[in-house]
Amino acid sequence: MPHLKKNLLPLAIMLASSPFAVAAPEAELDTSLRTFYFDRDFQDGATDRTSLTQALRLDGKVHASDSITFGASVFANMKLDGKGNDQFIGTLTDESEGYAKLGQLYADIGLGEVASVRVGRWVTSKALFNDQDNRATPSSSQAIKIEGTTGGVNWFGLYSDRASAKTESDFDKYTDINGDDYGVYVVGAKGSLDNGLNLAVEYGNADDVSEQLYINASYTLENGVLIDFYQYFAEYGDAAAASLQDQDSSLTNVAVRFPVNEDLKVTLSYQGVGGDVGYNTSWGGNDDHYFMTWNSIQYSDFNRQDEDSYQIRADYNTPIQGLSVMARHVEGEFKSGGQDQDHSETNFDAKYAVPSMKGLNLRARYAVVRVDTGGEDINELRLIADYAF
């Protein structure tokens, strides 16, 4: 597929100008606002990071026909206030300023009732290839994807050659340490067995940079207890970052969630990392991927080399309509310099869907992180107001 590296967007534009694009068009536009306050208070003397921003997102679609849809999204974020090293938060540019970008531009093409193709730039959401939306606006990727359903199994294949960070307008090529461009290939499938077992498998390859395998199996017992298992494997090639070259890593996560009653759930989770190095999900470049595991939380992923971590978590739907709260604590341990090092994080999270204002969602997130190796002892507060209309 080398020719795809240069022709993903021209293909989308060509489709837009085809005769099919003007057949009975129907348009829709969704608007959303996000007010985002972020404060990271370092306990070891490092410069704190604080910012307040107002983001606007416009998502437009044109249904050109029953089988062809075009989409585009504008992401914009305005700085309202900030201090310290606010350019490192992920809500502002390197110059500590706001930004505006064309975050999505794509075409969806239906292939009958069993498959569809998407080509262009969008916010991806696969386990091994995804774009985070944990700041003011998400990152996005340039790719081509085919997906469909066969015999009750959902499957997909994806190829990407460029990515755009949250605060950057450019979609930059993936480039390895030798200065060579490369692409990322990911395939996957998921489905459910007759006994209720849910399975998902994905495999990704980025030339000589990284090769990854993802497995998820989950099962809910008759009493409502959820058993959730995740397994990651990675081999890093000779064109990967120097700290990863020609090494391997694995990450295992097992969680059990107990329903105490209709409103309260308690979860216990274990995660362990093996192999030569800590687990790195990144494909390189400007991608901004995240783990799917339970122990990947507000600040920490607990993915250091040979790190074991244990979590206890409680989720509660309060008697107040629209208000839910969550508390969790993860305790981890890893080795550094031949010594055992402790790593812990405690999170408090409250969500409120305002009943009197449809589309308005408020969220408060607080984290306390402590790491023996230093530099990451922080208290972090995030306040988020999302309004969609």
Which token pair is 139? 């990152």
| Averages of pLDDT over each 10 residues, the chain, 389 residues | 45 48 76 98 93 98 97 98 95 97 98 96 97 97 98 97 96 95 98 97 96 98 98 97 95 98 98 97 89 97 97 98 98 92 98 97 98 93 97
H or E element that contains 250? strand 247-259
Residue with tokens 């979860």: 267
Q: What pLDDT, on the 0 to 100 scale, is given for residue 288?
A: 85
Residues in the chain: 389
3-state secondary structure 122-156: ECCECCCCECCCCCCCCCEEEEEEEEEEECCEEEE
Collect all residues with Cβ–Cβ distance below 8 Å to 150 and sequence separation of at least 6. Answer: 114
Report CA-CA distances (Å) from 205 to 213, 253, 290, 365. 9, 22, 17, 35
Tens digits of per-residue pLDDT, 1-32?
444 444 455 544 454 455 444 455 899 999 99
Q: What pLDDT, on the 0 to 100 scale, is given for residue 24?
A: 55
Cβ contact 289:129 at 8 Å: yes
Q: What pLDDT, on the 0 to 100 scale, is given for residue 3?
A: 43
Collect all residues with Cβ–Cβ distance below 8 Å to 258 and sequence separation of at least 6. Answer: 225, 265, 266, 267, 268
Which token pair is 381? 């507060």
Amino acid in the structure at residue 231: Q
**Whole-model pTM?**
0.92
Q: How far apart are CA 110 and CA 226, in angstroms?
A: 35
Which token pair is 134? 């944990």
